[in-house]
Amino acid sequence: MAFTNDHLSFSRLSRYEQCPLAFRLHYIDRLEAAPGLPLLFGKAIHATLEDLLREVLTLKLDGPLNEARALDLWSKQWMREGGLHGIDVFQEGVSILRDFCRDEGIVRHESVLDIERPFELQIGRFLVVGALDRVNALDAETIEIVDYKSNRVLFTRAEVDSSLQMSLYQLAAEKLWPWAKTIRLTFQMLRHSIRMETTRSREQLETAKAYVAALGEQIESAAEFPPRLNANCSYCDHKLQCPTYAEALKGKRYVVAENLADLALVAKEREEVAAIAKLAYSRKGELEEVLRARIEKDGEVQAAGHKYSLFTIANTTYPFEATVERLVEGSGLARDEVLRKVAVIDKGALEDLLKESRKRLPRAQVAMLRADVETLAERTFSQRFSSKASKEVSS
Ligand code: SF4
């Protein structure tokens, strides 16, 4: 029987784009999903931010966000969401919320226009639904749509500027707040304390509408929903119901480019191998977690002819002043020369210092300091291999 979308949403569309089989298992077969830790974590952080900001609105609060209250709400979400586990994961949430409260500075309740605002759009014959994480009123004519992201990897500029999600959000905002002359679109990258802003032209919005309508039609006319093994399969909430995932875990391969001059085949095999390698790596992590838990409980573990244990590795660092002093004394070189040869600033430590400075200094001052330091940076460049799916609507 042909499938009919009772509605569309960005998550439906992106699920289909990423893997038609995942779409079928979720929306057509309606199988129970088993979201992994990253998905549960993102959901719990979103819910905490929603609760925190809702209190700002209902209690009409003005001032800095209450960090203690944010952490209290995080603990409550943690208790509610049974699938979350691990002190490191809990701590990650604490750090994100602390940074969030600090980065927000002074929040005036009147500047938060709405949170988790549902919307509906009619695009072609499809009803598109969704919800806006947060809407800020920046001035009498400008609003900002904010979408919180807990991704570990930042989007590229091209991804932000072409995001279908943001195009839909702009269309929704135009409908909900027709008085707004300017609409800003922001991905707030919670793990990085970075805001990635973008805007949309009328032409981009028309293209987005045409794309959504075409994709909606494509889903309904699809004769089959093939699996699309990809680098994110280990996070798929239907991986345990997916035969392709099970086969990939056993290393089953389908594509071998015997003719290396056939670039299409080379690319297909490369993507298949990359997806399987990532799955295998992620599975290795899962298995090692099981073994590690046993080692921590029982000491060394022996199984299937292998011995597993934990060992300690040493990381060596040298205290700066004392080491430079010894090197000057011992090498006969001038201090400047010693420094030129051995001293570098660790990027991670520098980032930590700038992050920590935001607790004491105004955000603009830290931004200037960062920009100042960036002018001193020396960069080396190397080429990396990149692979990204190009989005096409095909029949
Ligand atoms: S595990 Fe991968 S191939 Fe299988 S349904 Fe999920 S996304 Fe698709």
**pLDDT value for 3:** 84
Instruction: Please work out whether the CB of residue 236 comes within 6 Å of at least one atom of ligand 1.
Output: yes
Q: For residue 391, is pLDDT > 80? A: no
Query: Pocket of ligand 1, candidates 39, 228, 237: which has the most ligand atoms within 8 Å of its Cβ, to mutate?
Result: 228
**Range of lowest pLDDT (159-163, 170-174, 248-252):** 248-252
**231-246: average pLDDT:** 93
Instruction: Please work out whether the CB of residue 276 comes within 6 Å of at least one atom of ligand 1.
Output: no
Query: Pocket of ligand 1, candidates 14, 18, 232, 236: which has the most ligand atoms within 8 Å of its Cβ, to mutate?
Result: 236
Closest CA to 303 of 286, 316, 290: 290
**378-387: average pLDDT:** 80
Strands 8-9 and 126-137: parallel
What pLDDT, in 10s, does the model give residues 320-344? 999 999 999 999 999 999 999 999 8
Under 8 Å between Cβ of 306 and 263: no
Under 8 Å between Cβ of 368 and 354: no
CA distance linking residue 306 with residue 100, whole number of Å: 46
**pLDDT value for 140:** 93
Rounded-to-10 torsion of CA 36, 40, 41, 47: 170
From ligand 1's centre to the CA of 389, what distance in Å? 15
**194-222: average pLDDT:** 96
Tell me the three state secondary structure of residue 297. helix
Q: For residue 25, is pLDDT > 90? A: yes
Phi, psi for 132 (deg, rounded to 5): -95, 125
From ligand 1's centre to the CA of 18, what distance in Å? 9
CA distance linking residue 395 with residue 183, whole number of Å: 35
Which residues have C-beta within 8 Å of that of residue 387, sequence separation ≥ 6?
Answer: 270, 271, 274
CA triple 146-162-120, angle to 5 deg: 55
Q: Which residue do the tokens 């996070």 mark?
A: 235
- Which of the two residues, 282 and 111, has the higher pLDDT score? 111
Under 8 Å between Cβ of 21 and 242: yes
Instruction: Please work out whether the CB of residue 128 comes within 6 Å of at least one atom of ligand 1.
Output: no
What class does CATH assign to 8-219?
Answer: alpha beta
Under 8 Å between Cβ of 187 and 196: yes
**pLDDT value for 65:** 95
Rounded-to-10 torsion of CA 58, 59, 60, 63: -130
Q: For residue 393, is pLDDT > 60? A: no
- Which of the two residues, 110 and 85, has the higher pLDDT score? 110
**351-366: average pLDDT:** 85
**52-75: average pLDDT:** 96
CA distance linking residue 351 with residue 342, whole number of Å: 20
What pLDDT, in 10s, does the model give residues 122-156? 999 999 999 999 999 999 999 999 999 999 888 99
Is pTM beyond 0.85 here? no
Model confidence at 394, in pLDDT bands (50, 70, 90)? Answer: very low
**151-177: average pLDDT:** 95
Closest residue by CA, ligand 1 atom 7? 233
% of residues, the chain, pLDDT over 70: 98
**Rg from Cα positions in the chain:** 25
Which residues have C-beta within 8 Å of that of residue 64, sequence separation ≥ 6?
Answer: 101, 104, 105, 106, 107
All CATH 3.90.320 domain ranges in the chain, comma separated: 8-219
CA distance linking residue 262 with residue 21, whole number of Å: 27
Instruction: Please work out whether the CB of residue 219 comes within 6 Å of at least one atom of ligand 1.
Output: no
Q: For residue 308, is pLDDT > 50? A: yes
Q: For residue 53, is pLDDT > 80? A: yes
What is the overall mean pLDDT for the chain? 92
Structural element, H or E, at residue 127: strand 126-137
